[in-house]
């Protein structure tokens, strides 16, 4: 089990220059790695672990497209304590990565927390997109079976259609819920808590990209989406100068989280491999090396976000920066285990 380190951050000019250099170095490292699996919620290959305790819950999104979520009920049967678990960039259409790769649903259920796992939304950042993703009339995702004919409407879906259906059909409390996610889902979790405080009182980000306006981040996201079934970044929040980029940047909307007094859990590894990283062949070495670079970028983003909150005097947050950990599921599972006590105290 990794140890939680709470460190005070210097806010002077020297500290800002230091983190700027580290961000550039980390970004350069990630660019040197194969972009084919960049910025994804993956480390070791998926092993498709279906959990029979969960059940499918179908709800139409604002486009009228039926979307599946997986529901795992709290062991004590309550309907007041609810958390949403968000996936990474390579979110699949059959199961959420948290179900495929971890057993966090059972751990949360044992803590008497109901778990909602939205399924699908690769590359979406769980946002409402400005347009369907296309290049010269060719739909994104056409090679993966997840063709995007209509613009994503994940933000509206999770905060309206899914929220209302859970309340009406299962009796789930629509207020003071929790939300957490890894990588892409980490920044999305903070976005939901920032703009929908009535629904979300708690947010957790694991290896999230929390400073997406930093130099090089938009270019990295563009390459990552292209490599993941050919998605067009400009169709998400528009061109780089569009205000939607600032609206979805945790570094920018941090004051909203403070105004809401959202309880936060912010974690990222060092990029150094540890006991959850297993290298038995060349493919494992490839994945682990890539996961090291990705976590370096996530750590630089997360540390910048920590400095931002510290400069604003916000203390209602737990920081988890262990000495080891890469961009992979074993570490994110451990993050959830450590997060459960504070989550349990902050929802319902």
20 by DSSP, 3-state: which? helix
Give how far the C-alpha of residue 177 lies from the chain's centroid of Cα atoms, to the nearest Å. Answer: 16
Read off the tokens for 112: 């008497």
Going through 80-152 in order, the beta strands assigned E by DSSP cover: 82-86, 114-118, 134-135, 138-139
How far is it, in rounded angstroms, from Cα 206 to Cα 203? 10
Which helix (H) or strand (E) element contains residue 296?
Answer: helix 282-311
Geometric angle at alpha carbon 342, from 339 and 347, rounded to 5°: 115
Geometric angle at alpha carbon 242, from 238 and 246, rounded to 5°: 110
Question: Which of 99, 101, 295, 328 does the annotation list as catalytic?
Answer: 295
Sheet with strand 200-206: strands edge to edge: 55-60, 66-72, 114-118, 82-86, 177-182, 200-206, 263-267, 317-320
Read off the tokens for 234: 């400009």
Give how far the C-alpha of residue 72 lies from the chain's centroid of Cα atoms, to the nearest Å. Answer: 19
Question: Which of 183, 205, 207, 328 does the annotation list as catalytic?
Answer: 183
132 by DSSP, 3-state: which? coil
Question: Is 80 considered catalytic here?
Answer: no
Q: Specify whether the backbone of 66 is left (phi greater than 0), alpha (psi in -120 to 50) or beta.
A: beta
Question: Is 327 considered catalytic here?
Answer: yes
SS3 for 191-255, per residue?
A: HHHHHCCCCEEEEEEECCCCCCCCCCHHHHHHHHHHHCCCCCCHHHHCCCCCHHHHHCCHHHHHH
Question: Which of 122, 201, 327, 328 does the annotation list as catalytic?
Answer: 327
Question: Is 295 considered catalytic here?
Answer: yes
Catalytic annotation, residues: 183, 295, 327
């Amino acid at each position: 089990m990794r140890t939680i380190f709470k460190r005070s951050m210097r806010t002077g000019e020297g500290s800002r220059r230091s983190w700027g250099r580290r961000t550039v170095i980390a970004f350069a490292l990630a660019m040197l790695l194969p972009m084919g699996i960049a910025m994804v919620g993956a480390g070791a290959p998926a092993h498709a672990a279906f959990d029979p305790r969960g059940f499918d819950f179908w709800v139409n999104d604002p486009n009228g497209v039926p979307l599946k979520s997986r529901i795992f009920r709290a062991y004590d049967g309550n309907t007041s304590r609810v958390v949403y678990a968000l996936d990474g960039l390579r979110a699949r259409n059959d199961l959420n990565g948290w179900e495929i790769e971890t057993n966090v649903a059972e751990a949360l259920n044992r803590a008497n927390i109901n778990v909602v796992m939205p399924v699908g939304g690769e590359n979406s950042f769980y946002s409402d997109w400005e347009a369907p993703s296309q290049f010269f009339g060719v739909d994104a995702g056409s090679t993966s079976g997840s063709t995007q004919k209509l613009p994503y409407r994940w933000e509206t879906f999770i905060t309206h259609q899914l929220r209302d259906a859970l309340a009406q059909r299962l009796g789930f409390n629509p207020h003071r819920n929790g939300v957490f996610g890894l990588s892409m889902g980490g920044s999305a979790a903070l976005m939901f808590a920032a703009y929908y405080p009535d629904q979300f009182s708690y947010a957790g980000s694991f290896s999230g990209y929390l400073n997406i306006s930093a130099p090089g981040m938009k270019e990295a996201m563009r390459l990552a989406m292209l490599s993941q079934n050919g998605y067009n970044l400009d169709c998400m929040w528009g061109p780089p100068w569009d205000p939607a980029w600032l609206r979805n940047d945790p570094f920018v909307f941090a004051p909203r989280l403070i105004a809401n007094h959202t309880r936060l859990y912010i974690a990222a590894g060092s990029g150094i491999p540890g006991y959850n990283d297993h290298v038995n062949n060349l493919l494992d070495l490839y994945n682990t090396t890539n996961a090291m670079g990705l976590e370096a970028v996530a750590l630089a983003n997360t540390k910048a976000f920590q400095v931002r909150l510290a400069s604003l005097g916000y203390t209602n947050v737990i920081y988890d920066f262990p000495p080891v950990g890469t961009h992979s599921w074993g570490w994110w599972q451990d993050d959830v285990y450590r997060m459960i006590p504070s989550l349990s105290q902050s929802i319902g």
